[in-house]
Amino acid sequence: MTKANGGEQRAGAGPISWGQLFFDDIILLLGLGILFPLGFYIVWGLLSIGGTPNFSPHAVALAATQAPAPAAMPAAGQRATQGDKPGEVALTVVAAQGDENGGLNFNGVDKGRLVVTVAAGSNVALTMVNKGAIPHSLQVIPYAQTPPVAAAGPPAFAGAQTPDPVAGTAPGQSATARFTAGKPGRYLLICGVPGHALAGMYGILEVSSSAAAKPGVAVK
């Protein structure tokens, strides 16, 4: 009787609310408790993977040695610009531009194919930009058929080298050699880091006896 009354009372209270049905179903609750966070973590993980740039050391090393876009080249056929000081001729060469000769190149060429020309007596600011993954340097030395193993002794003109040419300038950095091209003639423009010049990392500096000679950087 009591049961029947109770049943009548419940039925009389109207239909069971959806909330009660929901919270009474233990299987549904467990399923949601597992599936909802799982789905959330999967979506979060995929978004993280998609939004993370590729910073693997290999990719960074590759980017450091790869040739920049042609528009970024200050290299072939470059004309001199006015330097910081009055009457100074400013020129730039790029060490390790691309992977020609394993990166041991200036402006993408090795073995004397880069020719820097200045007029005798001009004050030169020769900047080296190191785009390589290892240190490089610049030093002007008297011409020789075979370049030296490393920078040894003073440069051909006072100041005609980047700081500490044997240790070199760090990757991504640049350094400027300031000198007066006193004596006309042909000179070697070497990377003074041991082994580099001998492996072909050298260009030519032509100091023209003609004061009218147009300063510039050319690739032969």
Binding residues for Cu ion, rule: CB under 5 A, are 136, 191, 193, 196, 201
* 175 versus 201: smaller Cβ distance to Cu ion: 201
What value does the CA radius of gyration of the chain take, rounded to a whole number of Å? 35
Min separation Cβ 52 and Cu ion, Å: 34
Report in angstroms the alpha-carbon separations of 29 from 7, 22, 35, 37, 39: 27, 8, 10, 13, 15
Query: CB of 148: closest distance to Cu ion in angstroms?
Result: 13
| Strand locations in 86-183 (E) | 88-95, 114-119, 123-130, 139-142, 174-180
83 versus 147: smaller Cβ distance to Cu ion = 147
C-beta closer to Cu ion: residue 91 or 189:
189
Q: 57: which 2 tokens?
A: 């050391």
CB of 104 to Cu ion, least distance (A): 6
Measured from the CB atom, the residue of 126 and 201 that comes closer to Cu ion is 201
In sequence order, which residues have a C-beta less than 8 Å from that of residue 206 and are 6 or more positions away? 115, 116, 117, 118, 186, 187
Quote the least distance from Cβ 189 to Cu ion, whole Å. Answer: 12
